[in-house]
Amino acid sequence: MPEEPVKLDETLDAKPYEPPKPGRSLTGFYVAVGIVVVLGLFGAWFWRTYTVWWFDADEAKRRQAAAAQQLSLPVEKSVDLGDGVSLDLVLIPAGRFRMGSPPEEKDRSKDEMQHWVTITRPFYLGKCEVTQEQWQKVAGSNPSWFKSTVNPVERVSWDDCQEFLKKLNYLGKTKGQFRLPTEAEWEWACRAGTRGRFCFGDADETLVDYAWYEANSENTSHSVGAKKPNAWSLFDMHGNVWEWCEDWHEQGYYAQSPKCDPPGPATGSLRVVRGGCWGNRPPAHSRSASRDRISPTDRDRNFVGFRVVLSPVGH
């Protein structure tokens, strides 16, 4: 039987050939997942670095060692003042922290408003408060009330400290310039990564292990370095004697303080002291954020001394 001819309209209605569609590629999905993971890791690092600023003693030591390695400098440095007298210093790394105290901190003062501060350059800080022996060697006198070569020098004014530093720099015993710490440098060094009331936490009862104050001092200063140090190996950051800082004092300065290396107010009538002393009865005055002020010409306080900063050359 002859085949039936194909009609013209049927050929026109037929669908054109379409090749089979390939399966959906997973490349885009993997790229998207990778981006999310990278952003998550970056976000975690950013949060940890710029918000969760506190760290433990092991991390404090690691940062200290890393700063020393980066600068090709020792973590601890001893400056020979002659005749067997030396000045020991500890390298403090740069970093960012919240200076001051939170509103809920016990015994805080109104002028301790928390604010972000970045210390942009590492520096050496005296491992201990300047002793009477060190002062005698550089300045040629000993004005202290509680006479002992190993005790901190006291009854020295802020102006007296400036003269001491000039003479120390003139000796040229090491490269760099000696000076007083800024208030921000002092608190950063004292905290060593902690965020509590003290460099070791919050407990008043533990303060006796780290500080000489009214509860254990018997109304006198004591040998430097006799108590426990903080995580950066700094002694007597709490108690023994108040320590002069470079800054003028201003009640509301924290509200307008620069975020990087704040130098303190441009002018004033009183200078900042930090750390508390042997005569402070409540532990409140020995807190990391506690601050006080004294006239820079006042040299009649047998509870005020200082420690020095050495700024490394080129930093």
- Report residue 174's pLDDT band, with 50, 70 and 90 as the boundaries: confident
pLDDT at 43 over 70: no
Count, in order, helices (H) and strands (E) of the chain: 6, 11
Q: What is the pLDDT of residue 11?
A: 44
Q: Which of 277, 229, 227 is nearest to 126 (CA)?
A: 229
Encoded tokens for 214: 């009214």
Angle, vertex CA 182, rays to CA 181 and CA 186, nearest 5? 70
The pLDDT assigned to 255 comes to 95
| Torsion 272-299-167-189 (CA) sign | negative
How confident is the model at residue 173, as a pLDDT? Answer: 78
Tell me which CATH code domain 55-311 carries. 3.90.1580.10
Which amino acid appears at position 193 of this protein? G
Q: Look at residue 265 in the predicted model and tell me its pLDDT.
A: 97
In this prediction the pTM is 0.84
- What pLDDT, on a 0 to 100 scale, did the predictor assign at position 29? 58
| Predicted local confidence at residue 30, as pLDDT | 61
Q: Are 293 and 140 in contact (CB under 8 A)?
A: no
pLDDT, residue 138, reads: 97
Q: Which residues face 92 on adjacent strands?
A: 123
| Confidence tier at 2 by pLDDT (50, 70, 90) | low
Residue 52 has pLDDT above 90, yes or no: no
Q: Where are the domains of the chain?
A: 55-311
Mean pLDDT for all residues in the chain: 89
Rounded to an integer, what distance in angstroms lies between the CA atom of residue 67 and that of residue 72?
A: 8
The pLDDT confidence band at residue 298, using thresholds 50, 70 and 90, is very high
CA dist., res. 289 & res. 101, Å (int): 6
Instruction: Encode pLDDT of 64-103 as tens digits.
Output: 999 999 999 999 999 999 999 999 999 999 999 999 999 9
Distances (CA, A) of 2 to 5, 63, 66: 9, 96, 96
Query: Which residues, 6+ apart, have CB-to-CB distance to 116 below 8 Å?
Result: 96, 97, 98, 99, 259
Q: How confident is the model at residue 10, as a pLDDT?
A: 47
Locus of tokens 């006796």 = 208
**pLDDT surpasses 90 at 232:** yes
Residue 173 vs residue 249, higher pLDDT: 249
pLDDT at 225 over 50: yes
